Structure 1
Amino acid sequence: MNPAHDEHHLRAQGAQQRFVLPADARQVILVRHGSSTGATTHVVELGELTISNPPLTEDGERQAEAVARALEREAITAITVTPLQRTQQTAAPLARVAGIAPQCIENLREVHLGDWEHSFYDHATAGHPLVSRMFVEESWDVIPNAESSMHFAERVRRGLGEVCAIVDAGETAVVFSHAATIAEICRQATGSRSFAFMATENASISRLIIGRNGEWKLRSFNEVAHLLV
């Protein structure tokens, strides 16, 4: 066999090459936080908002270590978290091995659930009709006093703008965030229906490419193979 000839033959046949980040694009690796505790008395005050702030479970801590192992060889130049401790705890192992201090981007925190901020899962478990309506209409607006879907979408887009401001073209940032936030980013990148990407799993990895002209392209969604080893 002639390796040089074989390589030339594959190129001639149009064989797909492995992805290489274009020099004029940025890669944003989106990581959902690890498994966190349910009902909690932990909260954080952000302006006029009181936000539920549960810590990771022991399983969540193991997931965080798995994320670090999965990403430790990536050419990462920035790590971001939200004001909520579950993202900070999930980011900690990767920040340690990469030697990068995480930066906090408040705009990429979870959607605020208004009157249900501390009781959403109780309502969901009880089968509250507004939960079903929320998923049918694919809108946060049906929850009493929740952050509007429009405001949430605008906030998330501003947050990604903040990420782009701290990484140069050709570089990669790892963004530790939340299920609804990652789903909203994926929705905007693909033009999908509102809740199409709400299946984001704990400690999953998704990859977004932001091009020279600011266009968003979703490269992968909900990678979880690193959690199976």
Structure 2
Amino acid sequence: MSPAIPASPNGEHFAEVVVVRHGQTEWNVSGTIQGRLDQELNETGRQQAAMVARRLSQEAKPAAVYSSDLKRAAETAQMIAAACSVSNLVLDQALTERHMGLFQGMKIHDAYKAYSSNDDRNEQLPGGGESLNQLSERCVSRFNAIAEKHKGERVVVVSHEEVIQEICRHADATRSVRRKIPNTSISIVHVSGSDGHWILEKVGDIGHLNEDSFPQHAPGGDGDGGGGGGGASA
């Protein structure tokens, strides 16, 4: 069982949610927007996933591992669950990447040429894509439900860059710039569940990759995107 997560000074109990971005894919390397398109990890991505799994296996054992059901996230999550000896692995569509509409499968620079966002968070992307507010509502609601179930415990959630950026923004609204979230980076939020109190503890930690001389982020990343409504996604 995971060690208890301390209560806040006002008595609230939190779940410690360790949020991991999936490992690298070939589309990350080529700068192609993935969104909901289901790409597998490449060999570098599998090595990255093994590294983050090894790191998490040396820390407090999570009570459960939750993951987007897309292959690149699910494979990363499976390696983490195995390394941490966690049998409770949940694949969850609510944790999937932002639907990027007609930009899915496009090169990042072509997408930026075709679409310029007016920073309206309610604006849906062309071709049935999600708005940032729709993405945030979906993910925040799911994180609250996970935290409510795991108060006082540590859990791992494996997801995608746009999702993690929104989670970090929700936890700390003072952030004016959406940060790059490297492949297999670790971000940590403490979430009180239904009380809606979130604390952002860490963003984009890739110490486990640096130790093995891996680059700080995959070439092209999720498209180096994420800013505004037209950011790239993976």
User: Do both share a fold (TM > 0.5)?
Assistant: yes
Taking structure 2 as the reference length, what is the TM-score of the superposition? 0.74
Taking structure 1 as the reference length, what is the TM-score of the superposition? 0.76
- Residue 90 of structure 2: aligned partner: 103
Q: How many residues align?
A: 194
Q: Over the residues paired in the alignment, what is the CA RMSD in angstroms?
A: 2.5
Change (3 A) 1:117 1:148: same
- Residues 139-179 of structure 1: per-residue CA shift (max 9 Å, x gap): 58363132122211111112212322442x21011000000
Kindly provide the amino acid, as one letter, of the partner of residue 27 in structure 1: E
Higher helix share: 1
Q: Secondary structure at the match of 1:164?
A: helix
Change (3 A) 1:162 1:37: farther
2:109 and 2:41 map into 1 onto residues whose CA distance is: 21
- Residue 185 of structure 2: aligned partner: 204
1:175 and 1:103 map into 2 onto residues whose CA distance is: 9
Q: Secondary structure at the match of 2:63?
A: strand
- Residue 22 of structure 1: aligned partner: 6
Residue from 160, 163, 172 that aligns with 1:178: 160
Quick one: higher RCO (CA 8 Å, sep 6+), 1 or 2?
A: 2
Q: Which moved more, 1:139-148 or 1:87-96?
A: 139-148
Residue from 71, 95, 100 that aligns with 1:85: 71
- Residue 126 of structure 1: aligned partner: 110
Report sequence identity in percent: 28
Q: CA deviation at 1:218?
A: 0.2
- Residue 205 of structure 2: aligned partner: 223
- Residue 70 of structure 1: aligned partner: 55
- Residue 46 of structure 2: aligned partner: 61
Q: Is the 8 A contact 1:110 1:177 kept in 2?
A: yes
Q: CA deviation at 1:90?
A: 0.9
Unmatched runs of 5 consecutive residues or more in structure 2: 8-12, 212-234
Q: Greater Rg, structure 1 or structure 2?
A: 1
2:145 and 2:94 map into 1 onto residues whose CA distance is: 9
- Residues 184-205 of structure 1: per-residue CA shift (max 9 Å, x gap): 00111111467x3340110000
Q: Secondary structure at the match of 1:92?
A: helix
Say yes or no: does 1:38 pair with 2:27.
yes
Q: Is the 8 A contact 1:106 1:159 kept in 2?
A: no
Residue from 155, 169, 179 that aligns with 2:138: 155
2:71 and 2:148 map into 1 onto residues whose CA distance is: 23
2:37 and 2:18 map into 1 onto residues whose CA distance is: 25
- Residue 103 of structure 2: aligned partner: 116
Residue from 122, 128, 144 that aligns with 2:126: 144
- Residue 12 of structure 1: aligned partner: none
